[in-house]
Structure formats: structure tokens, C-alpha cells
Amino acid sequence: MANEKELEQLLSQLHFTPNETAVYLALFDVGQGKAGDIIKKTGFHRNIIYRALDELIARKLVHKISKRGVFYYEPATPKPLIEEAQKQQEIATIVAKELSNRKAQAKSEVYVLSDKDGVEDLFNTVLAEGEDLYLLGANALALKRYPDIFEKFERRRIKKGITRHHLSTQATRGLHFNDLPNTTAKYLPKEFSSPMVIWIFGNKVAQALWENTETIFLIENKALADDYRRYFRLLWNQNVTTFSGKDSPKYAFGDILDTLQPGDTLYIMGAYEFNPAFRKVVLDFHALRVQRKIKAHILFNEDAKQLQTAFSNMPYTEARQMEKGVFTPAVFLLYGNKTLISLGNEFSFFQIESNTATQAFKVYFELLWKKANK
């Protein structure tokens, strides 16, 4: 049996104030009594007593009885304490479920993997996820650098029934990994060449950057993965408008100026240091954009500090530098329902007209924008 002090501590955990605890316990000693009896028992001021009694009556823990115009008080059954706790548990269960749903929707965990161990970790993550794998920009560098772990991964993938769909660079044509079971392949235009491959599987997106030291950014975000899958399927199933050659910027950038109105925003992801010829084209385009009062949010690659300086005081422009290690193989310009992929130094552009694809890239843009350095 709990002593008086232990009972007071337990009541405090049931949301009793110290005054309410004292008044409530005093009533069990008094039995049925007037307010004056409780005042004598506790030594509290009458105002404190009445406030505590009102709260206890509201919680159905105390009965208030009138006898010939005089009010008496007595403790009720403590059962409402159990009912209160049960109700609180029900509420907590509902709230916890709602918050868990929100967390699941908003969850975005980022992991950085590197070197051969990182590549193997990525393979194992794909196998553990157990869902189809989509590769955008597949370049076969994993096969060329680590044939042992790549072949092991492929055997396990096929055995588990995981299908690999990949949009590959032209350099992978004729390689045996395109003809393996549970494998489908299509090829990107010959102008597209990149050390980065985007992996989409389950609720994850990975950016694998194949440089001297492999760096992989693994993002766990279901909404982002779903959007990238839709984007992949869009590229897989439809033709893309291509602009190339000396006059290509006139048509590609001209469409942006024709589409956006004053006050609209152009989102640019992955701007890098261009060669002098294309740098001039870019600055001329942005001068026209500013004249038309079209806003721009620009994410620069880490190596584009010199180019970023040229935009630092440009009106209608907000620029940030992507966090260290994040890299994009091309510049992505998002506007209206269109995505323009620019390989600027080669004067080549690929335009995708799709609200789904553009929204998918915007989700990724916002993720990088929040983490970027101002």
C-alpha cells in the first residue's frame, strides 16, 4: 500500500495540482463535510479550496450536495480516474498514428556512401528493398570497376526476381549486362554522357557519382522516389524534343521567355562553369529574363563560384550553392510544365513537356535548395 507521499506523487502524475491533491485527500479523511471542514483540515485559504473543489467536481471525483441551503462535499468513486486514463490513451493513440503518418510522408533521410564498400552497400540496399530497379544514365562503370561484386549483385538480383530497367548511355550498347534476364534497356541520345547515374528503387533514390572516388548520395523519401519513377517512365515512353547546334539556345531559351510571365519563377539546378562561348549566351539570356521581370532561383554546383559571382547582385535572382559533394551532370531548367536539360558547352538541349516530370524535379530542387549554402 502506498504511503501519503507516494500517493501524492501518483496523483500528480494523474494531472492533479498540489492544491487539488491536498483537498482531494483531505475529503477522504473528512468524509462528507462543508468547505469550512476542509479549510480546517488543510489550512488553505477558502479561495484555494473552492477552486480545487470546482476542478474536482468537473472531473466527477467529488459530489456537491445541498442540505437546507448549505453545500456539503464528499469524495465520489475514483473510477473516473481510470476512465480519464483510458480516454487519454485513446487520444494519444490517434495523435501518434497521425504524427507517424505525417512523418512517413515527410521523411527524407540522406546517407553518403563512398568507394568500393559504398558501391557494395548500394547493391545490398537494392536487394534488401526487393523492388524493381530503375537506372537513369546507366554507364556500366560499376561493371568495369568492380566486376566481381557487380556480377554477384546481378546473380542475386535475378534470383530474387528484381527487374532492372535502365536508360543507358550509348557507350553501353553491346554489353552483356543489357541482355541478362529480368533486364530491359533503352538508350539516351548520343549527346548525353555523364559520370552520374540515378538509381530509383522502393522508397529510395540514389545519385551515384562515378569519379576517381565513387560518391553515392542515398535519399530515403517515398514521395521523391515515386516522382522519379514517373519521370523515368515518361522518358521511357515518349519522345523528347532535342535542340542542338549553334542556334539551339535561341530556341531553347526563347521558349522559356515565351512561357513565363512577369513574376513567374524559373528554377535552375546544377549550373556549372561554362566555356566562354556558352557563358556569354547564358548571361545574355538572363539579361533578357531580368528585363521581363521573371524571377530565378539558381542552384550552382560547388565548382561554379566564378559564375555564381556574376549573379550575386542580379535583380529578380536568388542564388545558392549546393552542399559540398552534390553534383549534377547537366543543368536542369524547370518552368511551367516543362523541363529543359542543358548540356551547355555542347550546345545541346533536351526538352520534356510534362507536368509530372517537372514536379518530380521540383521536389528534388526544393530538397537541395533547403540544404544549400546561401
Q: Which DSSP string do the residues of 260-305 spell out, in sequence order?
A: --TT-EEEEEEE----HHHHHHHHHHHHHHHHTT-EEEEEEPTT-H
Query: What are 34-59's pLDDT values in tens digits?
Result: 999 999 999 999 999 999 999 999 99
- From CA 369, how far away is CA 366, in angstroms rounded? 5
- From CA 68, how far away is CA 289, in angstroms rounded? 87
Query: What are 149-185's pLDDT values in tens digits?
Result: 999 999 999 999 999 998 888 778 778 877 889 998 8
The per-type count for the chain, helices as H runs and strands as E runs, is 13, 16
**The pLDDT value given to residue 103:** 56
**pTM score, two decimals?**
0.50
- The mean of the pLDDT values for the chain is 87
**The pLDDT value given to residue 238:** 61
CATH architecture of 241-371: 2-Layer Sandwich (3.30)
Same topology between domain 109-237 and domain 241-371: yes
The answer on pLDDT for 262 being more than 90 is yes
The answer to whether the Cα torsion of 78, 84, 90, 92 is positive or negative is negative
pLDDT confidence band for 290 (50 / 70 / 90):
very high
**The pLDDT value given to residue 107:** 58
Closest CA to 353 of 371, 337, 372: 337
Residue-wise over 312-347: b if at least 16 C-beta within 10 A, else e?
eebebbebbbbeeebbbbbbbbbbbebbbbbbbebb
Residue 257 DSSP code: H
pLDDT confidence band for 27 (50 / 70 / 90):
very high
CATH architecture of 4-75: Orthogonal Bundle (1.10)
Q: CATH says 109-237 is which class?
A: alpha beta
Question: Three cell numbers at 295?
Answer: 524571377
Phi, psi (rounded to 5 degrees) for 313: -115, 20
**The pLDDT value given to residue 108:** 66
pLDDT confidence band for 131 (50 / 70 / 90):
very high
Half-sphere exposure of 319 (CA within 13 A, CB side): 21
**The pLDDT value given to residue 101:** 65
324 vs 308, more confident: 308
List, as own/partner pairs, every contact residues 178-183 make where C-beta atoms lie below 8 angstroms and the sequence separation is at least 24, other chains included.
Answer: 180/154, 182/157, 182/158
Question: Three cell numbers at 138?
Answer: 546507366
C-alpha of 325 from chain center: 19
Query: What are 195-246's pLDDT values in tens digits?
Result: 788 999 999 999 888 877 788 989 988 888 888 888 888 778 765 677 777 8
Residue ranges covered by each domain of the chain: 4-75, 109-237, 241-371
